[in-house]
Every structure is written in C-alpha cells, then in structure tokens.
Amino acid sequence: MRLVTASANPAKVAEIAAILEPAGVDLEPRPATVPDVIEDADTLEGNARLKAVAIAEAVGRAAVADDTGLEVDALDGAPGVHSARFAGDERDEAANVAKLLRDLEVRGVGSARDRRARFRTVALVRWPDGLEVIAHGVVEGHIAAEPRGNQGFGYDPVFVPDEGDGRTFAEMEASEKHAISHRGRAFRTLAALLGAEGGEPSEDRSPPS
C-alpha cells in the first residue's frame, strides 16, 4: 500500500515510515506544490483531518496525516492541541521545550509525581471520496527537570515514558522509542485497520462524522 504523507516535517516522516515499513506501507513525500495547511481545529483529530483532506484532494489519492499533543496535568492539559506552536507560530522546538519547563517552574512543580504528562497521537488516512480510517495512540509519563538526549524531535528531550527505564525519548534508539511511543501505537493500529499486510484496505473504513 502507498500513501501520500501530509507532513512536511522530515523527522516525523522518517519516524512514521520506519513504523509502517514492516507492515508493508510505503510513504510518498508531500507534494511541494501543496501549500501549508492552517491547523486551526480544536482537536487533534480535526487537525489531522484538515491535513489529510488537503493532500487527498490535491493528489487524488489516499493521504495519511497525524497530529500529536503533549498533555501536562500540572498545566491543565496544555500545551495539548497547541503543542507545535506552544511558544509561537514559528514552531520552534527548543522554544517550545523552554516554555514548557518555564511554565512548570513558575507553578512550582518540581517532583516527577507532580509533572505527570502524556503524549497523544491521532493518525488518519483519507481517500478522495471522503472515506477515512482513524487510529489513536497514547503513552503516559512525566516531564524531566531538564532536556536530555539528542534523538527524536519536539518534546522528546523532556518526556520520560513510564514504560521505559528512566530515559527520555531523546535518549532512546529509534526502535526503542517506536515500540512504546504514542506515534508507534497509533500507526501500528492504523496499519492493522488498513489491512496493510495484505496490501488492501479493510472494510473498516468509515465516512467522517
């Protein structure tokens, strides 16, 4: 199965490709002629759909998109759907992490127990006829006191998953992260729903609500 990716983030595309490759799904790059999509939905699913619809309509074939949010309990669920632009529209990853740590410091949140957080991903495939498949992935953890590691991207340097050994996602090898990550779970579920191993979509496709 071949899908056109809606993401223009090389690190994210590489991660998704690595997760889907064992299931027999190949990704095609986002066409350079498709303009950026304004992600102004109020949910992760809504933003994923906006991106997938734009690509599917532009190329006339199935497109895959995802949206991910980091939810920090001590910040009342922020940054959530605004994770990519937490520190501004520039999508500066380092600035986003710095703002996150600063906001926790301002609130006096110090212990790992009080810095509970989770990553949540919604992955979505959209066909030009409006049919789509949706999958979800979540991983629980906490926010580290300071960034650690140089792998991954986004908030990976400060997210410590519960199912790990105390390392942040940025300190893990890609295969270790994919095995337990929110994105890994969402896209493995998506591949199963698509019937990707057999090369054909399953009958689980459903029109958008």
For residue range 160-205, list pLDDT tens digits in order: 999 999 999 999 999 999 999 999 999 999 999 988 444 444 434 4
- φ, ψ of residue 125 in degrees (nearest 5): -110, 135
| CATH domain 2-198 topology | Maf protein (3.90.950)
Least confident residue range of 36-40, 116-120, 132-136: 36-40
Active site residues: 67
Helices (H), the chain: 10-20, 44-59, 93-106, 174-180, 182-194
For residue range 130-170, list pLDDT tens digits in order: 999 999 999 999 999 999 999 999 999 999 999 999 999 99
Coil/strand/helix, residue 72 = strand
Q: pTM of the entire structure? A: 0.87
- Read off the pLDDT of each residue in 99-103 and give the average, rounded to a whole number: 97
Beta strands in 73-174 (DSSP E): 79-80, 116-126, 132-143, 159-161
